[in-house]
Amino acid sequence: DVQLQASGGGLLQAGGSLRLSCAASELTFADYAIGWFRQAPGKEREGVSCIDNTDGNTYYADSVKGRFTISSDSAKNTVYLQMNNLKPEDSAVYYCAAIPSYYNPYYYLSDRDYHYWGQGTQVTVSS
């Protein structure tokens, strides 16, 4: 079975940095885009970033551009989300998910077509 294992969450102060990891198993890594989503209490889940392992293209929500960087290590079947200059509004449960690369990249930051989801990892940023 395909598994996505998200890790790296934590509690930190505003302005700090954190790196999340998403390790994939039983997945043809190169055929998928891996996305990061987050959900804060009382809010809808939102797309944060995505990397297409087929061509290396990356995608970011406007709210994180310039602060977050997504990268992929195909040797480890792992995608990373480096989060810098964190703000209290970044606090949420972060999930990684996989979508086949044949889907239209326009929808990569939408959760509607993702096939596989990992468990969440909590990120809490205090002011």
Question: Is beta strand 3-7 parallel, antiparallel or unpaired with respect to 46-52?
Answer: unpaired
Q: Please report the pLDDT score of residue 82 as a whole number.
A: 98
* pLDDT value of residue 113: 93
Per-residue pLDDT of the chain (127 residues; tens, 9 = 90+): 999 999 999 999 999 999 999 999 999 999 999 999 999 999 999 999 999 999 999 999 999 999 999 999 999 999 999 999 999 999 999 999 999 999 999 999 999 999 999 999 999 999 9
Using alpha carbons, select from 53, 18, 46 the residue that is nearest to residue 32.
53
